[in-house]
Amino acid sequence: MAANETQYPSYSRAEIVADGLVHALGLAASLIAIGMFLAFRWDHLSSGQLAALSIYWLGLIAMFTVSGAYHMTPWERFRARLRRADHATIFLKIAGTYTPFVVTIGTGFGYIVLAIVWALALFGAITKLFRWSAPGRWNAALYVGLGWISVALMWSVFETSPAAGGFAAAGGILYTAGILFFKWESLRFSNAIWHGFVVAASGCFFAAVSLAVSA
């Protein structure tokens, strides 16, 4: 392990509680939304769409669960492993979000983009898990950059469902805007605010995915 792997940001009790509530909201909203979507759309999904959605949903749930565990755990001996997993699951959630879009679009170009995204995401996740380096406050920009590769697919998404394209664009903008608060270390509750942007952006992408596969 790198020496600085055991150095963590310091937050007040109020900031930790606020961040925990944001994570709980994100996880609860995800589970409820998945349940509602399945209740209304189960019979209308192809096997390919269901498989793609399952990958996306697992990534979404894993992201909120692991991130919450890392930021909330009172046991310092687990924090290094949880931080590795936290950063790795973000890569997997991003790639998972692409998957149902591409399966729905169904073009060769879309699958090429998906293959590139998954290759980069797996490389990033494995690097975080097994070749850790200090995270740095620019890490969020790497994730957002991977997410913005989706620009290559936006026209196809808009053609499939204009509303889905609008929600996807809004989600990308929210993620990008949230970096300001992620980097604003001196701002009180900056971490909770950043994760609030993550929850809001994830909600937009959930709506976008749901609309796209339902079109």
| Binding-site residues | 71, 195
In angstroms, the CA 93 to CA 32 distance is 18
What is 133-147 written as a DSSP string? ----TTHHHHHHHHH
Residue length of the chain = 215
The residue whose two tokens read 């994830």 is: 202
The residue whose two tokens read 């609860």 is: 28
Element (H, E) at 172: helix 162-183
Binding-site positions for Zn(2+):
71, 195
Single-letter amino acid, residue 62: A
> Two tokens at 63?
């992201």
Element (H, E) at 159: helix 154-160
